[in-house]
């Protein structure tokens, strides 16, 4: 026993190395057992663990630092990229601006009892505006028709001079004539009512995207329901990503080995359209997911949905892309978005999946099936009732016939508009800022012009056996100078060479009124009855070449009264008169009439060796038609921003450029041209009671046929010729006047009533001797004179006067006038 007691301390000595001195005996014994087992397996394991870190190589430590640095850098770059995407989302979405093409509007139609608009023309205007004929007025953009009245519920519209709300108008008519216009609700009689104007074209950005922006409040609720049912039923629950949809897409893509299906939400679709390319890669999908989350973080669901509805692609119209439901509503149904019904909104929602596959005009059966599927989904998700679904399914597609819109229905006029606006707006603003451009084009006049040109040119070619005739025309409102009709060629819908703007041709006898007006401005020397010499003349230029003009009929008429020389367009009398006045004096008159082009002071100027475009000729004759007021021709009334803010208004500007009294005498003479002179053939179409005024023009070799004339309401200029400058064998009377008469027969309603001035007196003249007489003389005619310029000698009725003419006017140099 003693020996055993002595042995115990000896066995405990190794355990005493443990730092915990307070360990109980029981625990110590366990520790011993444990150590004993460890020692048996691996005697130096504890020591080895303590020394292992010290044994790692420098290469291993360096690799760890590289990996750690790489992870830190990657994290930093990832966060930086997220920050970049976040900035991109906020910057672009907050200042989101779509490229909105400028809209060009025609002149608004005014309905009144005194206007020229007939019942049939009003109905055509309503159809042009997309109004629907119904039995009961429910929504704006509709009308009813009875035996003697039309009741119209107009659309609200932002004119350049203010907003006009929707209202009901009753128009009563008898036959084709409008008898009264009144507000339906209160019975108030209206002198006139202005319909909203028709869109006649657009200026597109480079990508030719087109859209009509709408706010979410304008979107029918049924369209939102249809969109949610088909595109993203969890839109208001998720945060940009739908993991259910993503799961379905992952499975489908894994099976195919590529990306064949998307699980995109509405937010993701918007992100893809706004920020990403259309390629299908995993990187793009990752970016799409990140951007969708960021977009949802910063913006509300309604903001995202509104942006999506304005961005989504919904079809193609030639080169024009149809974007947004606002434009799609007009493109497919011909009416504004708020007026759509359930079966129409379901169709739009169905098209989103594939605008080409579900084009209702090309694939009506397939599209109808798709639309009905949308209605079924809406019912399943309790957006509509079974009764509503069945009623909508029983309706046809109701898609209007395709209307192919180029940048314009009237390309020549659009080019004129663009040139006018280039001085006010840069190209980017003009094509992408959504401007509203209100023009002066009158569709009734333009349509009459188109019909007249199409038929008239063919008739001229057939009658004269000529080919390849071309034409150009400018029609203005006589009092305001507003361009109401415009033709750049025989095909008014063809966007080719714009002859009205760019065909610079000699104007022939159209220059003669400037010569005669120059003379009438000197009443002490010239009156309408002054005798002019119509005799042969030879003139020599500074190079020694002689110019020897002739009359068109190759005859010499001797002494002729002033008014007759212009009425019958005598060349020799005109040259004699012009040379007496001086070429510089005539050129000054042309400047006053609005000619800005260089004028060469040659004798041939007096017979039309002045090259102008039809538009420039129109400006020249507009000044005569307004009795001496220079009124710059204009094709634009106003321009507003997309929100309706007025940016520019083109006001009427007039100034007295020509003396009123001489211009009155000239206009009287030009009326005589149409009554008995070179323009008298127009009476076959335009009654003489219209008292029109005008002048024919023909150039050497019968290459150009011109006519310029006006009634009380319209002034128009026509040119007929060939682009290759070959002879057309048409005079002004047989060519251009024919087209002018066709148009004026359709549009002219007011006779030309010249306004006399206090400086004008009317005196009876005996045409046998051109002396003052009374109405009692057999050949007495009453002529207007500037006060004090009428003959003083009294006539003894019937006694003629006679003065012999020289056989030929002696040769002289025309430039002598500059040194005399």
Q: Can you read off the two tokens belonging to residue 584?
A: 């510089």
* Farthest-apart Cα atoms in the chain, separation: 189
Q: Beta strand pairing status for 142-145 and 132-133?
A: parallel
Round to whole Å and give the CA distance between 235 and 123: 44
CA distance 583 to 426: 41
Whether residue 598 lies in the annotated active site:
no
Nearest Cα to 307, choosing from 275, 343, 336? 275
Q: What is the CA radius of gyration of the chain?
A: 44
Nearest CA among 790, 278, 732, 320 for reference residue 528: 790
Task: Check residue 667 and report its DSSP letter.
Answer: H
* Side-chain half-sphere CA neighbours of 352 within 13 A: 26
Q: How many CA atoms lie within 13 A of 321 on its CB side?
A: 13
Using DSSP's 3-state secondary structure scheme, residue 37 falls into: helix
The answer to whether 509 is a known catalytic residue is: yes
Owner of token pair 């083109």: 650
**For residue 351, how many C-alpha atoms fall within 13 Å in the half-sphere facing its CB?**
31
Give the three-class secondary structure for 455.
helix
Q: Which two three-digit tokens encode residue 300?
A: 């509300």
Phi, psi of 9 (to 5 degrees): -60, -35
Q: Are 436 and 512 in contact (CB under 8 A)?
A: no
The catalytic residue among 231, 234, 393, 611 is: 231
Q: Where is 376: in which H helix or E strand?
A: helix 364-380
Coil/strand/helix, residue 603: helix
Residue among 484, 706, 726 at smallest CA distance from 611? 706
Neighbours of 279 (CB within 10 A): 8
- For residue 759, the tally of other CB atoms under 10 A from its CB is 16
* Beta strands in 394-468, from DSSP E residues, in sequence order: 436-439
- Is the separation of the CB atoms in 523 and 494 below 8 Å? no
Catalytic one among 242, 264, 452, 509?
Answer: 509
Q: Could you tell me the two tokens for 773?
A: 């007489």
Q: Tell me the angle at which helices 386-393 and 364-380 cross, rounded to the nearest 10 degrees.
A: 170
Burial (CB count within 10 angstroms: exposed 0-12, middle 13-18, buried 19+), residue 396: exposed
The DSSP symbol for 804 reads P
Retrieve residue 243's tokens: 């993991």
Burial (0-12, 13-18, 19+ Cβ within 10 Å), 331: buried
In 673-759, which ranges are E strands?
693-698, 704-710, 714-721
What is the DSSP track for 11-23? HHTTGGGSS-TT-
| Catalytically annotated residues | 231, 509
């Amino acid at each position: 026993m003693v020996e055993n007691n002595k042995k115990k301390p000896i066995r405990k000595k190794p355990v005493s190395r443990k730092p915990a001195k307070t360990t109980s005996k029981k625990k110590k014994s366990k520790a011993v057992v444990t150590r004993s087992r460890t020692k048996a397996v691996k005697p130096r394991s504890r020591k080895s663990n303590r020394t292992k870190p010290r044994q790692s190589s420098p290469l291993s430590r360096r690799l760890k630092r590289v990996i750690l640095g790489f992870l830190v850098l990657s994290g930093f770059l990832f966060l930086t990229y997220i920050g970049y995407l976040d900035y991109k989302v906020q910057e672009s979405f907050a200042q989101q601006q779509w490229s909105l093409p400028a809209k060009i509007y025609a002149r608004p139609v005014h309905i009144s009892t005194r206007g020229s608009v007939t019942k049939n023309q009003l109905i055509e205007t309503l159809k042009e505006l997309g109004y629907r004929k119904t039995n009961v007025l429910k929504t704006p953009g509709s009308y009813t028709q009875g035996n003697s009245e039309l009741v119209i519920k107009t659309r609200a519209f932002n004119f350049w001079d203010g907003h006009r709300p929707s209202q009901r108008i009753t128009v009563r008519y008898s036959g084709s004539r409008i008898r009264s216009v009144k507000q339906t609700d209160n019975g108030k009689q209206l002198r006139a009512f202005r319909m909203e104007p028709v869109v006649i074209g657009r200026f597109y950005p480079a990508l030719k995207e087109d859209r009509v922006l709408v706010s979410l409040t304008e979107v029918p609720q049924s369209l939102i329901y249809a969109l949610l049912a088909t595109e993203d039923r969890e839109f208001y629950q998720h945060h940009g990503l739908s993991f259910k949809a993503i799961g379905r897409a992952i499975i489908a893509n894994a099976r195919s080995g590529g990306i064949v299906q998307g699980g995109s939400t509405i937010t993701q679709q918007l992100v893809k359209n706004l920020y990403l390319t259309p390629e299908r890669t995993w990187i793009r999908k990752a970016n799409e997911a990140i951007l969708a989350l960021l977009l949802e973080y910063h913006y509300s669901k309604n903001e995202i949905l509104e942006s999506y509805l304005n961005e989504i692609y919904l079809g193609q119209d030639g080169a024009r892309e149809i974007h947004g439901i606002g434009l799609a509503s007009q493109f497919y149904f011909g009416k504004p978005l708020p007026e759509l019904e359930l079966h129409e909104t379901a169709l739009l929602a169905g098209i989103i999946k594939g605008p080409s596959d579900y084009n209702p005009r090309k694939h009506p059966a397939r599209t109808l099936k798709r639309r009905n599927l949308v209605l079924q989904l809406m019912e399943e998700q309790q957006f509509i009732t079974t009764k509503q679904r069945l009623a909508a399914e029983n309706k046809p597609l109701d898609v209007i016939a395709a209307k192919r819109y180029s940048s314009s229905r009237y390309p020549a006029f659009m080019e004129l508009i663009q040139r006018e606006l280039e001085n006010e707006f840069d190209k980017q603003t003009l094509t992408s800022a959504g401007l509203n451009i209100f023009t002066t084009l009158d569709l009734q006049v333009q349509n009459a012009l188109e019909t007249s040109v199409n038929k008239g040119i063919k008739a001229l070619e057939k009658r004269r056996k000529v080919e390849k005739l071309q034409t150009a025309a400018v029609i203005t409102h006589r009092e305001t100078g507003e361009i109401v009709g415009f033709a750049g060629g025989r095909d008014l819908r063809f966007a080719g060479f714009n002859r009205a703007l760019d065909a610079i041709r000699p104007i022939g006898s159209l220059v003669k009124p400037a010569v005669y007006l120059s003379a009438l401005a000197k009443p002490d020397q010239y009156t309408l009855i002054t005798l002019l010499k119509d005799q042969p003349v030879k003139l020599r230029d500074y190079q020694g070449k002689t110019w020897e003009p002739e009359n068109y009929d190759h005859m010499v008429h001797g002494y002729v009264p002033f008014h007759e020389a212009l009425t019958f367009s005598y060349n020799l009398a005109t040259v004699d008169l012009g040379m007496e006045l001086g070429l510089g004096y005539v050129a000054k008159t042309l400047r006053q009439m609005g000619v800005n082009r260089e004028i060469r002071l040659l004798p041939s100027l007096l017979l039309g060796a002045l090259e102008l475009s039809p538009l420039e000729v129109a400006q020249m004759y507009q000044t005569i038609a307004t009795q001496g007021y220079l009124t710059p021709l204009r094709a634009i009334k106003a321009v507003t921003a997309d929100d309706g803010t007025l940016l520019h208004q083109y006001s009427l500007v007039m100034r007295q450029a020509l003396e009123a009294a001489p211009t009155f005498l000239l206009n009287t003479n030009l009326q005589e041209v149409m009554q008995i002179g070179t323009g008298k053939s127009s009476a076959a179409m335009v009654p003489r009671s219209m008292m029109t005024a005008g002048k024919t023009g023909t150039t050497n070799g019968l290459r150009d046929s011109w006519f310029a004339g006006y009634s009380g309401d319209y002034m128009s200029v026509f040119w007929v010729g060939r682009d290759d400058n070959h002879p057309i064998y048409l005079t002004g009377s047989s060519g251009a006047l024919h087209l002018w008469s066709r148009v004026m027969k359709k549009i002219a309603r007011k006779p030309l009533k010249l306004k006399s001035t206090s400086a004008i007196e009317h005196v009876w003249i005996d045409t046998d001797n051109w002396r003052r007489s009374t109405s009692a003389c057999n050949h007495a005619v009453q002529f207007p004179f500037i006060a004090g310029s009428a003959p003083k000698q009294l006539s003894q009725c019937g006694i003629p006067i006679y003065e012999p003419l020289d056989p030929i006017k002696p040769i002289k140099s025309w430039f002598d006038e500059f040194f005399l």
